[in-house]
Amino acid sequence: MAAIANVHRPVWKDDEVTNIKADVKAHEVTAVVSIQGIPARQFQSIRAELRDVAKIRVARNSLIHRAFAEAGETTLQLFENVEGQTALIFTDLNPFKLFKLLENSRTPAPAKAGDRAPSDLIVPKGPTSFRPGPIVGDLQNVGIPAAIEKGKIVIRETKTVAKEGEAISARLADVLQRFEIYPMEVGLYLRAAYDGDVLYVPENLYIDEQAYFGQFVLAVSKALNLSINAVYPTSLTAATLLQKASFEAMNLGVNAEIFEPEVLKALLSRAQAAALTLVHKLPNEALDDVLIALKNAQATAPESDKEEAAPQKEGETSEEKEEENEEKGSESGREGLGALFG
Is 197 in the same domain as 237?
no
Report pLDDT for 327: 47
- Cα gap 138→125, rounded to integer Å: 17
Which CATH number covers residue 170?
3.90.105.20
Q: Is 88 a domain residue? A: yes
Is 331 in the same domain as 246?
no
Is 195 in the same domain as 274?
no
Q: Is 331 a domain residue? A: yes
Contact 187, 102 (CB under 8 A): yes
Full residue range of the structural domain in which residue 101 is found: 2-106+187-207
Which CATH number covers residue 203?
3.30.70.1730
Is 88 in the same domain as 152?
no
Q: Is 125 a domain residue? A: yes
> Minimal CA–CA distance to 88: which of 61, 65, 56?
56
Is 58 in the same domain as 97?
yes
Contact 120, 161 (CB under 8 A): no
- Cα gap 22→190, rounded to integer Å: 21
Is 331 in the same domain as 278?
yes
**pLDDT less than 50: residues of the chain:** 1-5, 306, 308-318, 321-322, 325-342
Is 278 in the same domain as 336?
yes
Is 143 in the same domain as 249?
no
Q: Over the range 151-169, which residues count as b (16 or more CB within 10 Å of their CB) and which as e?
A: eebebeeebebbeeeeebb
Compute how many other C-beta atoms are within 10 angstroms of the C-beta atom of residue 177: 13
Contact 46, 39 (CB under 8 A): no
Domain total of the chain: 4
Q: What confidence tens digit (pLDDT) does each residue in 197-238 have?
A: 899 999 989 888 889 899 999 999 999 999 988 988 888 889
Pair type for strands 29-34 and 86-91 = antiparallel
Report pLDDT for 7: 55
Residue 314: what are its φ and ψ, rounded to 5°? -65, 130
> Minimal CA–CA distance to 279: which of 299, 303, 257, 308?
299
Using the 3D structure, point to which of 147, 167, 183 is the last residue of a domain. 183
Is 221 in the same domain as 264?
no
Q: In what order do the strands lie in the sheet with 86-91?
A: 54-58, 86-91, 29-34, 189-194, 199-200
Report pLDDT for 9: 73
Report pLDDT for 112: 87
Q: Is 197 a domain residue? A: yes
Is 176 in the same domain as 36?
no
Extract long-range pairs of 94-98: CB within 8 Å, 24+ residues apart: 94/28, 94/29, 94/195, 95/29, 95/31, 95/193, 95/195, 95/200, 95/205, 96/205, 96/207, 98/29, 98/31, 98/54, 98/190, 98/193
Report pLDDT for 309: 42
Is 47 in the same domain as 193?
yes
- Cα gap 97→205, rounded to integer Å: 9
Q: Is 77 a domain residue? A: yes
Is 179 in the same domain as 233?
no
Q: Is 111 a domain residue? A: no
Pair type for strands 184-186 and 107-109 = antiparallel
Q: Is 269 a domain residue? A: yes
- Cα gap 224→236, rounded to integer Å: 8
Q: Residue 149's beta-bridge partner residues? A: 152
Report pLDDT for 314: 45
Q: Is 224 a domain residue? A: yes
